[in-house]
Amino acid sequence: ALLLPRAARGLTEGLYCGRRVCYEVLGVSRQASKAEIARAYRQLARRYHPDRLRADPAATGDSEAAHEKFLLIATAYETLKDEETRKDYDYMLDHPEEYYRHYYHYYSRRLAPKVDVRIVILVTVCAISVFQFFSWWSSYNEAINYLATVPKYRIQATEIAKQQGLLNKTKEKGKNRRSKEEIREEEEEIIKDIIKNKIDIKGGYQKPKIYDILLFQILLAPFYLCKYVVWYCWWIYCFSIKGQEYGVEEKLYIIRRYMKMSQSQFDSLEDHQKETFLERQLWIRENYEVYKREQEEELKKKMALDPRWKRYRRWMKNEGPGRLTFIDD
């Protein structure tokens, strides 16, 4: 016999070849190689193929039975040609009592996505990174266009352009003479280029960097993790064990952590604000708590004097949510 008799008891309708043994369907043994399985399939497929059936119905007898036979042959071949599926099928033949395991492996392979999940994740991350990068470039260009309209920066950029002789080149005569519109556009580009090079834009409108996008952040995550561990150990050793005094960078780092601000948010602050933080020694927790209360009181005073805030409080008191009124027509 090709198979042990007990194997037939593990065959279930709806799994693989149903009540038939796939090896018997193809007429091969369980030790058959891939080449032998493929050869047996080709011979049977030519015999029971629907095209042959339509050309010569007498060759296969009953057409419906021949069609079902062809589907069974195709199913047997699909089961045995793949190493993993064949391994699951052989295990089912040898362990017929493990019904739930057989159902799980059969349907998990059939319902598994055809595309590798890793490829899907990679494509998604790349798409997000591209969108992120161009979005940052758009914000950066908007900031440059805005600064070019601010008189303070435009006058400074124009003076620098004149000193470097860049504006004189746009007013050439002779054959290279251009229209006023072209000259104006070129002068505008020169001013914007000077603003880009001379002004350090920080925060959400800063110049995008390729290693800030999501893809590179994921790739560099192990490096950043190791860097943070080394930095943390250095911090503990220097300031907790040796008791060294904080430097300017360390003081600003502690202040930023107290304020719960990201690095980009903290960088967008003016230099005089950071100097004020250092003068008031806000890296000391007690000093920061005093500063925080002062800021909260100042905010309350501003809101109390703000006309819009007064109107909002008046509305909440007289006509806000939960109040029922009768309207006289």
Average pLDDT (17-45) is 90
Residue 139 lies in a domain: yes
> Burial, 172: exposed, middle or buried (Cβ in 10 Å; 0-12, 13-18, 19+)?
exposed
Is residue 21 within 8 A of residue 3, CB to CB? The reply is yes
Query: Which residue is associated with the tokens 């880009």?
Result: 196
Last residue of a domain, one of 189, 208, 227: 208
pLDDT at 192: 85
Q: How many domains does the chain have?
A: 3
| Domain assignment of residue 124, given as a range | 118-168+180-208
| CA dist list (Å): 260 to 138, 248, 294 | 28, 18, 17
Q: Say yes or no: 102 and 126 in one domain.
A: no
126 and 95 in a common domain? no
Q: Per residue in 44-54, pLDDT tens?
A: 888 887 776 66
Residues 124 and 105 in one domain: no
Indicate whether 224 belongs to any domain. Answer: no
Biggest CA–CA distance in the chain, Å, is: 102
Are residue 101 and residue 159 in the same domain, yes or no? Answer: no
Q: Assign 6 a pLDDT band (cuts: 50, 70, 90).
A: very low
Q: What is the pLDDT of residue 319?
A: 60
Nearest to 92 by CA among 171, 168, 193, 10: 10
Residue ranges of the alpha helices (H) in 148-212? 151-163, 180-198
Say if residue 287's pLDDT is above 50.
yes
Q: How far apart are CA 127 and CA 79, in angstroms?
A: 37
pLDDT tens, position by position, 36-93: 999 999 998 888 877 766 655 555 456 677 778 888 899 899 889 888 889 988 888 8
What average pLDDT does range 115-135 have in this prediction? 87
Of residues 60 and 267, which shows the higher confidence score?
Answer: 267
Amino acid at 42: R
Task: Please identify, among 154, 189, 208, the residue that sits at the C-terminal boundary of a domain.
Answer: 208
230-239 confidence digits (pLDDT tens): 999 999 999 8
What is the pLDDT averaged over residues 218-226?
92
* pLDDT number for residue 237: 92
Q: Where is pLDDT greater, at 77 or 110?
A: 77
- Same domain for 15 and 78, yes or no, is yes
> What is the average pLDDT score of the chain?
80
Q: What is the reported pLDDT for 4? A: 40
Residues making up the chain, counted from first to last: 329
C-alpha dist (Å) from residue 238 to 149, 154, 227, 284, 289: 48, 47, 16, 18, 26
Tell me how crowded residue 109 is: count the other CB atoms within 10 A of its CB: 12
Same structural domain for residues 187 and 268?
no
Q: What is the pLDDT of residue 130?
A: 92
307-324 confidence digits (pLDDT tens): 777 676 676 666 655 554
Give residue-wise pLDDT tens across range 94-103.
Answer: 888 887 888 8
- Percent of the chain at pLDDT > 90 equals 23
Closest to 202 measured CA to CA, from 267, 132, 142:
267
pLDDT score, position 203: 59
Confidence tier at 190 by pLDDT (50, 70, 90): confident
Q: How far apart are CA 242 and CA 12, in angstroms?
A: 73
| Reported pTM | 0.48
Average pLDDT estimate for 275-293: 92
Query: Do 77 and 44 lie in a common domain?
Result: yes
Same domain assignment for residues 277 and 196: no
Q: For residue 136, which amino acid is it? A: W
- Does any domain span residue 144? yes
| CATH number reported for the structural domain that contains residue 37 in this entry | 1.10.287.110
Residue 53 covered by a domain: yes
Give the mean pLDDT of 187-209. Answer: 77
